[in-house]
Amino acid sequence: MATKLFVNLPVKDLGRSSAFFTELGLPFFGQAEDMASVIISEHTQVATAVIRGRTRCSGKPRTWPRSSRRPAARAAVRNPAITRLALWEPPYHVDDTAPRLPHDFAAELDGLVSAGRRAEAVELFLARAAEASPEDIAGMRGQPFWPTMEASARSLAYEAFVMGPGNALPVGLLAGITQPTLVLNGGDSPAWMRHAGEAVAGAIPGAVRRVLEGQVHYVAPEAIVPELLEFLITA
């Protein structure tokens, strides 16, 4: 299975950086005043963000996983060079409020993508894992970002494979994390996501949990970027 790579890139001029990636013909997954996410390939995404004001950065690795949190947790346990870890809504299933996924969910997603049925893979993931309604999915299909979601469809299969059957909470793995850790949740996200955040924060020694009021799982960059800058860079 290919590696999924996310790169966080601080920049001084977001406009010039965005123009550079646009000239290369690369699509954007999301854009805001101070941040833009660029898809390099189905395996690689780059998040560019403007760092404003005076900050102190040691140059040591600080990890902000945007999808599939279990590899980030493993990396933190195995690599002491990672000094801080921030997690956005780890998708573990810790109680009956979480969606029930079929045992072969990852294989089903992978099969659809391999067969060229990327739209169906995205729809399946949204319906089963995110519990999106048919009306919501139909509305998403008409949005400009839908082709980008289809282009990244294989990452959904990767996440399902990595999380494992049932998205069970890896208590032992989390207990081995010694780095300062921030767990973030949206105040308007589904209850099961908030419960998972509580469970993860409780399992990691010394972890801090914050709830971003009014935010859902697809968090607004202007809401989360200040939290990440404070924790990962200025701390």
CATH number of the domain enclosing 74: 3.40.50.1820
- 190 located within any domain: yes
Which phi and psi (to 5°) does residue 231 adopt? -80, -45
Alpha-carbon distance of 84 to 61, in angstroms, equals 7
Name the residue range of residue 195's domain.
Answer: 58-94+169-235
Burial level of 117, CB count in 10 A (0-12/13-18/19+)? Answer: middle
- What is the pLDDT, as a whole number, of residue 224? 87
pLDDT in tens, 127-147: 998 888 899 899 989 988 888
Could you tell me if 110 and 3 lie in one domain? no
Residue 14, both tokens: 């977001």
Q: Are residues 25 and 123 in the same domain?
A: no
The answer to the question of residue 164 being in a domain is no
Residue 179 and residue 146 share a domain:
no
In the chain, which residues have pLDDT < 50?
1-2, 51-59, 61, 67-68
Q: Indicate whether 205 belongs to any domain.
A: yes
Q: Indicate the residue among 113, 129, 155 that finishes a domain.
A: 155
SS3 (DSSP) at 151: helix
In a domain, 45, yes or no: yes
Q: How many CB atoms neighbour CB 59 within 10 A?
A: 6
Q: How far apart are the first and last CA of the chain?
A: 36
Establish if 100 belongs to a structural domain.
no
**What is the tens place of the pLDDT at every residue in 77-123?**
767 778 888 899 998 999 999 999 988 999 999 999 999 999 999 99
Q: Are residues 123 and 89 in the same domain?
A: no
Q: How many domains does the chain have?
A: 3
